[in-house]
Chain A
């Protein structure tokens, strides 16, 4: 359940930004979560509801943009789709894949008032 800590991190960023960007409440939060980020989306949603209570993001809607995993297959020298970290290259079967996307956990943007 490190999703709770992630949510605390999200609220912290939102609260910090509230002062800088001068907003009172958050209507919607867009997160970018990679398929390989090790984040359980349902746990994240649950944690978000709990952690945002009493913050500027209370009752904010959470929109999650999923990012597919991709990696660079070294033997093939090309980018391939990776669903799990232990996936082999779909073309050559090698495990020598450097993950290039899919492990991101980002707060992309907010709709605020």
Chain B
């Protein structure tokens, strides 16, 4: 459709198409000339004609390249906003709340079945006397995981995303209100099992923790580079099964460092318990920092 007069491009049988002299624009808008627009106001080309350096007024600088009295041309509105701007705003709010309360929040991300919930329940059981903890559980459906967490005796809030494939900062903000985590505690946010979508959504956490189990492919870090890039730490889980598998640990670590050269890697087994101390120590240090920040 023509944006100047609203006429269609179609023709009627037996009639010549009417002439469109105002169609001087070919829709290759030449305003993409790479200058930076840091001003969010709109350019209302159609209302005020532009005057150039000599003071000449140009009515044809609108998007249609023409001016037709009484017919408003379309105009260009500069937006320059991040698509995830709203999410990031909520995430910032969450981060502030968490910082004020000295809460160390971790966003756990992985494929389904990598052992996130098992690692969480074990971590909670082993550290109950050391620190206060609570959990936000994200799944598309069911409260099975939150039920498993509550069995350990800590507070847990289930967030069902329905068809959603990730948690977002708005959901987490609501969950925080519901959960009321203690000041100076650790908050685990178990994201929906998905190595793609949660990568882009900041929830306000201190770190994303990517969990990969050795029963998966060692090339997952380069298959899902966005996630492993977004994570600060990678947990290589189920290491007790290594003797039975052809999983090349060194190769996996190389792949992870390819995607993020300074990613921290902890190898552990939530079942046998090997490597767990390093993980617990890392959490304890993070919590200490969070507490100092709030004090």
Contacts and interface: CB of A to CB of B under 8 A. Distances in A.
Contacts of A110: 76-77, 79
Contacts of A2: 165-166, 196-198, 200-201
B77 A21 contact: yes
Nearest to A96: B261
Interface string A28-39: 001100001110
A88 interface: yes
Contacts of B82: 104-107
Interface in A43-95: 65, 84-86, 88, 95
B165 A1 contact: yes
B84 to A, nearest CB: 6
Given A1-B197, A105-B84, A111 B3 contact: yes
Contacts of B221: 86
Interface string B27-42: 0010110000100001
The A interface, classified by DSSP as helix, strand, loop or mixed, is mixed
A106 B168 contact: no
A7 to B, nearest CB: 9
Nearest to B198: A2
What is the size category of the interface that chain A forms with chain B?
35 or more
B86 A109 contact: no
A111 B76 contact: yes
Interface stretch (B8-16, B95-103, B235-243, B252-260): B252-260
B250 to A, nearest CB: 15
Contacts of B80: 106-109
A93 B87 CA distance: 36
B166 A5 contact: yes
Given A38-B226, A86-B222, A109-B77, A10 B197 contact: no
Contacts of B196: 2, 38
B225 A107 contact: no
Contacts of A85: 225-226, 229, 259
A95 B257 contact: yes
Interface string B139-170: 00000000000000000000000001110100
A113 interface: yes
A60 to B, nearest CB: 11
Interface in B205-250: 221-222, 225-226, 229
A92 to B, nearest CB: 13
Contacts of B29: 111
Given A85-B226, A85-B229, A17 B200 contact: no
B81 A13 contact: yes
Contact of B258 (A23, A65, A95, A107): A95
Q: Which of A1, A5, A31 counts the most B-chain CB atoms under 10 A from its CB? A: A5
B178 interface: no
Nearest to B168: A5
A41 interface: no
B199 interface: yes
B131 interface: no
A95 B78 CA distance: 37
Contacts of B259: 85-86, 95
Nearest to A104: B82
Contacts of A86: 221-222, 225, 255, 258-259
Contacts of A13: 79, 81, 83, 85-86
Given A5-B168, A113-B75, 6 more contacts: A10-B83, A13-B81, A17-B77, A38-B200, A109-B80, A112-B77
Interface of A: 1-2, 5-6, 9-10, 12-13, 17, 21, 23, 27, 30-31, 36-38, 65, 84-86, 88, 95-97, 99, 104-113
**Chain A to chain B: the 10 pairs with minimum beta-carbon distance, closest first:** A2-B197, A85-B225, A38-B226, A105-B83, A86-B258, A107-B79, A86-B222, A110-B77, A96-B261, A113-B74
